Amino acid sequence: MKLERLLNSERQQYYNSDQTITDICLDSRLVKNGNLFFLLERNIELQEQYLKQAINNGAAAIIAPKDYSFDRSAINIPIITVDSVRKTLSQISSKYYPKQPKNILAITGTNGKTSVTKFTEEIWQLMGIKSASIGTLGNSKTKTPSILTTPDPISLHKQVDALASEGFQNLVIEASSHGLSQLRMDSLEIAGAAFTSFSRDHLDYHSSMDSYFNTKKRLFTHLISSKGTAVVNMIDLPLKYHNFINSIKAENIITIGNNNPSISILGINRGDNNKIQLQLNCYGKKIIVTTPFIAPFQAINSLIAGCMATINTGITLPDAFASIEKLSDVRGRLECVAKLNDNNIFIDYAHTPDAMSSVLEAMRMVTKNRLIIVFGAGGDRDTGKRSIMSDVADKYADLIIVTDDNPRFEEPNLIRAQLMKQSRKYVEIANRKKAISYAISELSSEDNLLICGKGHEEYIIYGKEKIHSSDHNIVEQTLESSSK
């Protein structure tokens, strides 16, 4: 593609815009001959290092920040400076990979993004609609694993373009706060968006809870189509943020809650099989939604997904809600991975105080004897939530095994020390495999076990090393060994 097709008109006159760009790239190590390279780095020394590497690898042109200050006379390719490299990256990615499905939906929220995304896709599939999803669990059609919840703009638009080329016209994407902050989704045509929940997380990245909320709010105030549909779970949105509804630019808004919403939850009941039933007032009509889930938050996530599945598809809300009973567990999201006589072993991704509280409260309701939990906390992340997570575990669980969970560059023993309490309920086992095996060995009649924090992930990070580790595999191997 010619450079002139990628640049806006006011910049074309300053550069050889007739040259051919063979691809676009944001990693200097991966640049190939003829690529357009985007210099995102702000550190001056690293800027110079990455720039030289990109040029040596054959970059045809560079997009750099406007305050870029190195001597251009020694550089024989165009350096195009812009106000925002991230915004330009998003715009040019959409030009280089221009195809998009007609119906793109985005899901944001502290907790519930992955579940709502997968439930929406599954409802579409149950209704015979060809669809796909992109998020924490990767690309559902290519089975490509995900490094980021919301991929970088180049990867995202490349995937979106490929899906559209293969005839997928319905796509649902997870929108993380990092992705929204870094403008990764800014050039997508978003027809619908959902806000699942909001609570403490990522304060290592965002300066405050208000900053964190405002980042997520961008999806509804800047990115969603003015003719689109927004679905907002008011139940899990703190009251101080409820007035954000007035700033949503979509013309259609569906609210779920208790105070004059579009869909009011009149009751949450548990059947004989411990599965949740929702009693609803849906636009003035009372209906009952039967779910296959044991936790109220799972049921509400499926309700959000039911609303999302109706956007631009011709599916009615009653039909979407009726399909909820057929939904499957999402991998690593309060997923029952083993049943041992009268014991159940669950794996969940919960790694925030609010998510842990919701999961443990639900587990407590279906546990007749002891509730055992294995959990840890990630390193180089919001340290303030660790003591809160420990308090939550202490409130609901009878036996608490503290272990490692992506220590990264922090000392693992110091992280565990911040989670431990002076209580006979607490046991510290650093090795995650040994911790899970110990928890399983401790199961007695009518106990339940919850393994928290890693969910679907198949690795654990120590410093620069990413070691293979799967909670699913550990459970399976432990049970196999104990049965011999």
Predicted TM-score of the model (pTM): 0.93
Write down the pLDDT at residue 13.
46
Summarised one tens digit per residue, pLDDT across range 162-191 is 999 999 999 999 999 999 999 999 999 999
Mean pLDDT on 440-469: 96
Mean pLDDT on 259-288: 93
Q: Which domain holds residue 360?
A: 335-483
151 and 262 part of one domain: yes
Mean pLDDT on 340-364: 95
The answer for residues whose C-beta is within 8 angstroms of residue 108's C-beta and 6 or more apart is 174, 175, 176, 177, 180, 193, 194, 195, 196, 216, 219
Summarised one tens digit per residue, pLDDT across range 314-331 is 999 999 999 999 999 999
| CATH number of the domain residue 367 falls in | 3.90.190.20
Token code pair at residue 28:
């200097």
345 and 315 part of one domain: no
419 and 359 part of one domain: yes
Burial of 357 (0-12, 13-18, 19+ CB in 10 A): buried
Token code pair at residue 389:
């997570």
| CATH number of the domain residue 19 falls in | 3.40.1390.10
120 and 249 part of one domain: yes
Q: Which residue, 274, 299, 326, sits at the end of a domain? A: 326
Mean pLDDT on 107-119: 97
Mean pLDDT on 100-112: 97
Mean pLDDT on 424-447: 97
Containing 55, the helix (H) or strand (E) segment is: helix 44-56
Confidence check: pLDDT of 72 > 80: no
Write down the pLDDT at residue 17.
62
Write down the pLDDT at residue 11.
52
End-to-end CA distance of the chain: 61
Q: Which residue, 286, 302, 326, sits at the end of a domain? A: 326
Summarised one tens digit per residue, pLDDT across range 185-204 is 999 999 999 999 999 998 89
154 and 292 part of one domain: yes
Confidence check: pLDDT of 380 > 90: yes
Q: Give the three-state DSSP class for 102.
A: coil
61 and 140 part of one domain: no
CA-based torsion, 200, 202, 208, 213: positive or negative? negative
Mean pLDDT on 354-376: 96
Q: Which residue, 95, 114, 148, sits at the end of a domain? A: 95
120 and 33 part of one domain: no
Higher-confidence residue of 69 and 6: namely 6
Write down the pLDDT at residue 12.
46
pLDDT band for position 55 (50/70/90)?
A: very high
Summarised one tens digit per residue, pLDDT across range 8-30 is 755 544 556 678 999 999 999 99
Strands (E), 26-155: 35-38, 61-65, 79-82, 103-108, 131-135, 138-139
161 and 293 part of one domain: yes
| CATH number of the domain residue 197 falls in | 3.40.1190.10
118 and 195 part of one domain: yes
Summarised one tens digit per residue, pLDDT across range 278-307 is 999 999 999 999 999 999 999 999 999 999
Containing 119, the helix (H) or strand (E) segment is: helix 113-126
Mean pLDDT on 415-437: 97
Higher-confidence residue of 66 and 40: namely 40
195 and 51 part of one domain: no
b/e burial code for range 424-454 (CB count within 10 A of at least 16 → b): eebbebeebbebbbbbbeebeeebbbbbbbb
Confidence check: pLDDT of 73 > 80: no
272 and 354 part of one domain: no
Number of compact structural domains in the chain: 3
Supply the DSSP symbol for 21. Answer: P
Q: Give the three-state DSSP class for 206.
A: coil
320 and 346 part of one domain: no
What is the chain's mean pLDDT, rounded?
A: 94
